[in-house]
Amino acid sequence: MPDLRLVPKTELDRLRAADADPDAKLAALADACRLNALVAVKRAGSGHLGSTFSALDVVVHLLFDELDTAERGFADPDRDVFFSSKGHDVPGLYAALYALGVVPRERLVRLRRLGGLDGHPDVGVPGIEASSGSLGMGISKGRGIALAKRLLGRGGRVVVMTGDGELQEGQNWEALQAAAHERLGGLWVVVDRNEVQSDKRTEEIVALGDLEQKLSAFGWRVETVDGHDHGALREVFARFRAGDDAPKALVARTVKGKGVSFMEHPVALAEGGGTYRWHAGAPDDESFARAVAELEARIGERCAALGVAPPSLEEVPPLEEAQGTVLQGEPQSGAGTAGRPASDARARRAVTEEYVVEAYGEALLELGDERDDLVVLDADLASDCRTRAFELAYPDRFVQCGIAEQDMVSTAAGMARHGLLPVVNSFASFLASRANEQIYNQASEGSKVVYALHYAGLIPAGPGKSHQSLRDISLLGALPNVAIVQPGSREETRGLVRWAVSEAGESVAIRLAIGPSPRRIELGEPRGVGCGTVLREGSDGVLLSYGPVMLHEALLAAERLADDGELSLRVVAMPWLNRFDEDWLAAEVAPFEHVFVLEDHAAVGGLGDGLRAVLARRGSRSSASMAGRRAGRPSRRFATTVSTARRSRRGSPLASASGPARTPLGERPAHLVGAPRPALDSRLRRHRDRERSRGAPGRAARRGVPGAPGGCRGVGAAASGRGCALR
């Protein structure tokens, strides 16, 4: 990690207080915030620099000059309200709030880390007026705030920053027409018109056309300005203040990556062969050093022109966490293309070289060669979802829908009704929830669509809760004719994709981890619909989980329990999240009093709920214990939860990895979560002594575990109805 140096708040205060041209001073402050945002993203290891840099001149001008928020304070009900709907630009907003003394330095330098700042705006952070990250909600929220101010008789304007690609989301246009109808003159929308989305030009994804004319047609007063010209911004904001009761829209023409020459989109697109690489991801050390040098030099030049000394910088200590132990925050922009950034290769070495999402893209490409009816739909995430190779190979069968999951799903439904097999791609948190009604409608028609839910689960956590999909299994599991699976390895991914496309008789939702696998797990292809794979033998309990991250944690927990607690835990990879072979499941759990599930999902509606229903229906004596992965040291926390369940009485204890155990009847067995290690060891010894005194059977007597029933055939046979019983 290179040396990291921030512009401290004291130096930012000195710049703000300088008796100099206000617009030149704002330009210098914007560059200082760019430098601080760059340092925060580099230290975090992930973040969004391109859209941060394009928006920062507008953000600084609003917060430092135009709006009264800093003067009144964020608790004043009559304050001006500003927030970003696009969310990607939050490192710059944090840097500006740090300069205003709202966000402390300690949190700024812990961007995307525990105890720091979320990777997308969250109202739990001081100065953040609205949570975002899921695109298209901001104008509606701004409308609501403006209506609240009107109804409550409060003053203050409401200013919402949106991205230009974000306007592909239909909710924006619903809010635009409603705000004009309500004559909300105090509502301003600033469109960061930087012309580039995740890695392609907006006009290549879904063209916006004459944006100014469209906004005017919706009844808004519209102006266009250079978003980096503070003098021009000052003039247009003055006209907005003097305007009538029509809502105001400013199309700010900006440069993505503004302030660092090789990140600015005209240069970066040319160097990337039409692909922009600086949307997501931290720069490698060489690129970081070049960017810092450019910013520091220009800050010095601007300060000289202002007649003030350049700011002194303060060093930021390295992270106390060991480097290379944290899973990748997000894919680098351009991942999955031939020109993957060099920094991505370095990031990949932190854990393993395996990405299940890469195996997904490879399998899709192979199936595209075999099936002329296969079409792929994407929501401006072709690089992240590894569908870019399919797009290049079969452009006529690739449909780019932009940031519009609802439209994408209904488009796929229409295709499916007329003989095509659509594969729909987006992040799980957006696809399963935002388009849930459309998925239900498609599934109820009896057609078949494959839904690829990327970024599924808790990890990576850096982007914040807007991107953590912990509800998709329950949302989709309630729909008819939708099977849900999540592979745990490259081979299992390829097998499940092929099954979903070529063999499944219903729609299939494939959850996919987006980051590297923490360890390589030898799973092979799925052995049968509804059947899992034993990864580790054990005799004291059985633990089922799914996906590369949670399977790693499950194995790690079992290893630690064996080493420290002398408990023998059987670990089973269960990729089928709502389709179960009941005979296989009954045989698998029969020798054990307790069945544990390690979820990469909320406890409600996940794999555990499905298994518990099957076991209850069959009258199994096994109890079902739930362990949800939380931040911190999940394997240790889970290990203590397992110990808790062993001590509990017969029943159905539901032990959370971060809270007390509970039962369906409301009883609360004692739990050991967070117990000091010596105390835990002592309780385990007392528990074993009690077992021996009662003559409980030992491990040797319980060692044998029957295998899967002979009728559980391969995936192909099961899908045709000749193998497993599905429920």
pLDDT value for 318: 74
597: exposed, middle or buried (Cβ count in 10 Å: 0-12, 13-18, 19+): buried
pLDDT value for 38: 95
Q: What is the pLDDT of residues 255-313, one digit of tens each?
A: 999 999 999 999 999 999 998 988 888 999 999 999 999 999 999 999 999 999 999 99
Q: Both tokens of residue 177? A: 């027409």
Q: How confident is the model at residue 417 (pLDDT cuts 50, 70, 90)?
A: very high
Q: Which residue has the higher pLDDT, 626 or 709?
A: 626
Pair (584, 502) in one structural domain: no
Q: How confident is the model at residue 36 (pLDDT cuts 50, 70, 90)?
A: very high
Pair (50, 189) in one structural domain: yes
Q: How confident is the model at residue 333 (pLDDT cuts 50, 70, 90)?
A: low
Q: Both tokens of residue 548? A: 């590369």
Last residue of a domain, one of 247, 276, 305: 305
For residue 151, being part of any structural domain is answered with: yes
For residue 718, being part of any structural domain is answered with: no
The three-class DSSP label of residue 197 is: coil
Pair (500, 538) in one structural domain: no
For residue 518, being part of any structural domain is answered with: no
Dihedral angle over CA of 330, 331, 334, 335, nearest 10: -170
Q: Which residue has the higher pLDDT, 685 or 70?
A: 70
| CATH code, domain with 451 | 3.40.50.970
Pair (20, 69) in one structural domain: yes
CA–CA separation, 607 and 726 (whole Å): 15
Q: What average pLDDT does this structure show over 163-184?
A: 95
pLDDT value for 623: 54
pLDDT value for 624: 53
Helices 356-370 & 490-502, crossing angle to 10 degrees?
A: 30
pLDDT value for 465: 78
| CATH code, domain with 616 | 3.40.50.920
% of the chain beyond a pLDDT of 70: 81
Last residue of a domain, one of 478, 512, 546: 512
Q: How confident is the model at residue 321 (pLDDT cuts 50, 70, 90)?
A: low
Pair (598, 554) in one structural domain: yes
**Residue 450: domain span:** 350-512
Q: Which residue has the higher pLDDT, 135 or 234?
A: 234
Q: DSSP string spanning 356-419?
A: HHHHHHHHHHHHHHH-TTEEEEESS-TTTTT-HHHHHH-GGGEEE--S-HHHHHHHHHHHHHTT
Pair (492, 538) in one structural domain: no
Cβ count within 10 A of residue 74: 15
pLDDT value for 297: 96
**Does residue 606 register a pLDDT over 50?**
yes
For residue 224, being part of any structural domain is answered with: yes
The candidate with the shortest Cα–Cα distance to 281, out of 46, 42, 54, 92, is 46
pLDDT value for 332: 58
CA–CA separation, 598 and 274 (whole Å): 42
% of the chain beyond a pLDDT of 90: 68
Is the separation of the CB atoms in 548 and 518 below 8 Å? yes
Pair (400, 298) in one structural domain: no
CA–CA separation, 84 and 562 (whole Å): 49
Pair (195, 47) in one structural domain: yes
Cβ count within 10 A of residue 230: 23
Q: Both tokens of residue 123? A: 């109202």
The candidate with the shortest Cα–Cα distance to 181, out of 218, 156, 217, is 218
Is the separation of the CB atoms in 663 and 649 below 8 Å? no
Q: What is the pLDDT of residues 148-168, one digit of tens each?
A: 999 999 999 999 999 999 999
**Does residue 350 register a pLDDT over 70?**
no
- Output the average pLDDT for the chain: 83
For residue 329, being part of any structural domain is answered with: no
CA–CA separation, 639 and 69 (whole Å): 48
For residue 83, being part of any structural domain is answered with: yes
Pair (404, 548) in one structural domain: no
Pair (297, 160) in one structural domain: yes
Full-prediction pTM beyond 0.75?
yes
Q: Which residue has the higher pLDDT, 608 or 658?
A: 608
The candidate with the shortest Cα–Cα distance to 328, out of 292, 359, 354, is 354
Q: How many separate domains does the chain show?
A: 3
Pair (508, 537) in one structural domain: no
Residue 540 Cα distances to 23, 593, 692, angstroms: 70, 8, 14
For residue 724, being part of any structural domain is answered with: no
Q: DSSP string spanning 574-624?
A: --BSS--BHHHHHHHHTT-SEEEEEESS-STTSHHHHHHHHHHHHT-S-EE
Pair (626, 561) in one structural domain: yes
Dihedral angle over CA of 193, 198, 202, 206, nearest 10: -130
CA–CA separation, 422 and 121 (whole Å): 33
CA–CA separation, 127 and 106 (whole Å): 15
For residue 338, being part of any structural domain is answered with: no
